[in-house]
Amino acid sequence: MSRAIFEERGDEFAPKDGRQRTGDAVDRGEPEVAEGKTKGNGLYLYGIIQDNQQRRWGLTGIRGAPVICTVCHDGLSAIVSDGSGDIHETTQEDLLAHNKVLEQVMKTHSVLPLRLGTVARSEPEVRAFLQKAHRPLRHALGQIEGRVEFDVEAEWNGNEIFRVVEEQDEEVRKYKEHAVSAGKRVGPEEQVAAGIMVANAIARQRAQFAKAMEAELKPWSERVSSLQDRTQQTVFNAAFLVQRERTKPFEEAIYRLGDLHGRILKFRYAGPLPCYSFVNLHVMMVEFQAVDEARRTLGLGEHVTLSQIKQAYRKLAPQCHPDRNSTDAEAKERFEKLAASYQLLLGFWETVGGDASRAIPLTQEGVGKTLVVISKERRPDFLGV
């Protein structure tokens, strides 16, 4: 196995973005079937599983919560801990605790991870949410059932890439040979030109390596999602959705890449993980003020149907799209607000509606404060946005 894959601390892989590699770092015990009662000032939500039994895990949750248990309704269970319903700001320690709970749960269940900081006021509110959002939650769980995520990253290994460019890039090699044979001092303009040439050569190498890595890993996965480059040295950074039974061949493929390219690239990976990058929805607490502002942005009344929400967006989107208002500096901001309002109202209707022809109230009494599922797949894609 190539040591280029490993960190200095041995055969433990470095966490990425606060996510721990699932392994001996966390307890492997099974959850207990128990009376999962909670108490305190609200609940903190970690994720959703398909289960109808109340369970408990012997873990320390976010903010030191001593009990991790489930709140159940009709085959769905929310994983919760006690007394964290008033979280306004989260920390790195919260992130690690949140992920540790999810990684423990995923050993026995396919888990739909919720965003860090998702809270509810009470068990009845959680049960009401599971009832209202039953269909989209079931659908999302079906998409990740029996699957896990691996995050794979590669970056340049020191200055090796410059040696590779000098050895393999024909344009750079010819330029260097010409400069040496000319025997004259290179001026500032030539230095700039040489720098641009090398940068372009490195960009070509980056594209080639990224293509080779995806070609090696993609056959062992179902889906690939690009992740944001962490540094300028990053060559490849992506998440892979992998069936549980294919985790071993997937990891073996990573080691093959390390053996093949270890002189030039440093590899890191995290996994198996909950499917953070492949969950097409998120849950958020929505208050009347946010829904009311979204309603006004789309020019809707206080009682709306699903078709009215869609029609309002389709009417307004062309009017404020940035491509049609290139001289208006605020057009992009207005369009983003319109799109976000549309997405919020769709999510609210999805959670509390159900009948496409029935109007739902967007009044203070009709909205109040409730957990809402917002689907990323429903993000507006009008005119290329």
- Evaluate whether 194 touches 171 at the Cβ level (below 8 Å): no
| Among candidate residues 114, 111, 179, 170, the one with its CA nearest the CA of residue 141 | 111
Q: Which residue has the tokens 């492997």?
A: 28
- Evaluate whether 54 touches 36 at the Cβ level (below 8 Å): yes
Instruction: Give pLDDT, residue 145.
Output: 92
Count of C-beta atoms within a 10 Å radius of residue 177: 10
Give residue-wise pLDDT tens across range 205-245: 889 889 999 999 999 999 999 998 888 889 999 999 999 99
Q: What's the rounded Cα separation, in Å, for the pair 302 and 100? A: 42
Q: Is 248 exposed, middle or buried (0-12, 13-18, 19+ CB in 10 A)?
A: exposed
DSSP SS3 for 6: coil
Q: What's the rounded Cα separation, in Å, for the pair 214 and 283? A: 31
Bridge partners (DSSP) of residue 111 are 49
How does the average pLDDT of the chain come out, rounded?
78
> What are the boundaries of each domain within the chain?
32-145, 150-278, 281-384
Instruction: Give pLDDT, residue 38.
Output: 47
Give residue-wise pLDDT tens across range 59-103: 888 888 887 899 999 999 999 998 655 555 678 888 888 989 998
Q: What percent of the chain has pLDDT over 70?
A: 76
Instruction: Give pLDDT, residue 88.
Output: 55
CATH number of this structure's domain 281-384: 1.10.287.110
**Candidate ranges 19-28, 124-133, 347-356, 371-380; pick with highest mean pLDDT:** 124-133
Return the biggest CA–CA distance within the chain: 84
Cα 286 to its chain centre, rounded Å, is: 21
Cα Rg of the chain, angstroms: 25
Q: Which residue has the tokens 């040489």?
A: 194
Bridge partners (DSSP) of residue 375 are 281
